[in-house]
A and B are shown apart, each in its own frame.
Chain A
């Protein structure tokens, strides 16, 4: 079975025991993204850390397949209470990993490198990227620094069906 390369143990752990799931009452922005081909959904909220306005707090609620759920849980681990720059870099890296144009880097993605197997299954790539695209959308709406406008235009294309 090639399945083990897709569903690494670490992915199944995140799926069964998701980190940080549940919406925070206060937020600067909220987005709802869906994957129209399979019905995966995520609501993601971003707020500014009151103690340090450079850092963004993340909360989310979601439903969907193991890949989309595990990916959201990993996103929480990696991006909660991080700067927009750190998060944006991670999103870009995740996208590149899915497009197989970059080797996974654990320093950037943490457990997210275990999602590398998804790249072999094009139909599942959207599942893996759903929460990351939602985060970027929400972070921008929350008024986070936007260094380069064209990149946002590109990324919403990948986000699909807000």
Chain B
């Protein structure tokens, strides 16, 4: 029994009606990369363009007023979804930009302070000094690794990382050792996009608090799949992308603690983020506007708000339970195929729906090709988490990810396609 009515859900997703590769049913198992979009989201976006399209926060006319209302109502709705206040929610292009927004706050605060420039009160939190350390984990998506490598490269700070256990978890000993008195921020993922591991946030937060470090949580693979509440998690920053949770492409969210956002210098600058401007210099608006330079993606915000409504109506507990059921079925069936090895926890506890595996004797790219030929859409490669592949000594993996519109038939299709790949390559 599923916690969701998948047949009814599938009817809301027009793309699931199409066929692929010679009239095969589309078995979409790549929602970890990007999810499909229901009518409700597409309609909300279209409705914005058809009824009140205009530049948010700029015009003096009725359309601009309505567009601004729609944009700010979307912000309030989306913030409430993660238990946050609208004033603390910044819209970005995607999670990658949101992480860069924070890493650049460190860079910009450090550069400005070195030149004796004025900075907002509280900005000491973001000024890096010689010997300071940034901590990530070995399971990060490149989006939560490269910005920190770059920051360290530019400032001389040192990047450290928490090691992984053989079964795909953060090493508890390493958490205690790596986070230390010089740590300024710990940036880590809630759920690994490659391994499926759901990390124990509380342990990391507790250790970070002991050393007075900030905590940033990459929630790209958690907000779409399980209940997430920022107050309960106790982190300082949390970000995710709209497109992985039924929302449109081109919008992401950064939630941050009010006192921290207020203390951060801007990242991208230009129109709409200022207070006063003269030829000699400018002052900046308070958050979230300070971080939203340029005409914002209002239609996408409205679409994402509709996605939030859709998920809320299903219930995030039910979404999680449904994915749990599918993940368990996939783990069991895939593990039973000789020569198939799961990369990541095989135990369903504290585990999300990203299931990565390798097949002896067949490269993941070739596995993916046979699956594609059978209508099963998965991702192959290093999934923007190359160091994870190195850690587990595989060149790449094949990855299936499940979402609300998948059912046990999809799991069966995956399993049969893997068997077919083995036959095709004689492995």
Contacts and interface: CB of A to CB of B under 8 A. Distances in A.
Contacts of A31: none
Interface string A67-82: 1010000000000000
B216 interface: no
B381 A2 contact: no
A121 B365 contact: no
Given A1-B373, A39-B389, A7 B396 contact: no
Contact of B381 (A38, A63, A66): A38
Interface residues of A, number: 20
Given A12-B425, A38-B381, A66 B366 contact: yes
Contacts of A66: 363, 365-366, 425
Which of the listed residues B363, B381, B395, B424 has the most CB atoms from chain A within 10 Å of its own CB? B363
Contact of A38 (B373, B396, B424, B425): B396
Interface in A48-63: 63
Contacts of B424: 3, 7
A84 to B, nearest CB: 31
Contact of B369 (A6, A39, A41, A64): A6
A37 B382 CA distance: 7
B363 A64 contact: yes
Which of the listed residues A2, A6, A38 has the most CB atoms from chain B within 10 Å of its own CB? A38
B22 interface: yes
Given A38-B381, A64-B363, A3 B389 contact: no
B84 to A, nearest CB: 35
Given A37-B381, A39-B396, A63-B395, A3 B369 contact: yes
Nearest to A38: B381
B380 interface: yes
B122 to A, nearest CB: 39
A124 interface: yes
B392 interface: no
B209 interface: no
Contacts of B22: 2
A67 B364 CA distance: 12
A3 B370 contact: yes
A84 B260 CA distance: 60
B312 interface: no
A38 B380 contact: yes
B386 interface: yes
B395 A39 contact: yes
B21 interface: yes
Contacts of A65: 363-366
B373 A3 contact: yes
Interface string A121-138: 100100100000000000
Nearest to B424: A3
Given A39-B389, A63-B395, A64-B395, A121 B380 contact: no
A1 B21 CA distance: 9
A38 B424 CA distance: 21
Contacts of B370: 3
Contacts of A39: 381-382, 386, 389, 395-396
Interface string B365-378: 11001100100000
B387 to A, nearest CB: 12
A12 B381 CA distance: 20
Nearest to B389: A39
A2 B395 contact: no
Which of the listed residues A1, A6, A121, A124 has the most CB atoms from chain B within 10 Å of its own CB? A1
Given A37-B381, A39-B386, A2 B365 contact: no
Contacts of B364: 38, 65
Interface in B186-237: none
Given A1-B373, A39-B389, A41-B395, 20 more contacts: A2-B22, A2-B373, A3-B373, A6-B369, A7-B369, A38-B365, A38-B380, A38-B381, A38-B382, A38-B396, A39-B395, A39-B396, A40-B395, A64-B363, A64-B395, A65-B366, A66-B366, A67-B365, A67-B366, A69-B363
25 contacts: A2-B21, A2-B373, A3-B369, A3-B373, A3-B424, A7-B366, A38-B365, A38-B380, A38-B396, A39-B381, A39-B389, A39-B395, A40-B365, A41-B395, A64-B363, A65-B363, A65-B364, A65-B366, A66-B363, A66-B366, A67-B366, A69-B363, A124-B365, A124-B369, A127-B365
Interface of B: 21-22, 363-366, 369-370, 373, 380-382, 386, 389, 395-396, 424-425
Interface of A: 1-3, 6-7, 12, 37-41, 63-67, 69, 121, 124, 127
> Which 4 residue pairs across A and B have the least CB separation, nearest first?
A65-B365, A65-B363, A38-B381, A39-B396
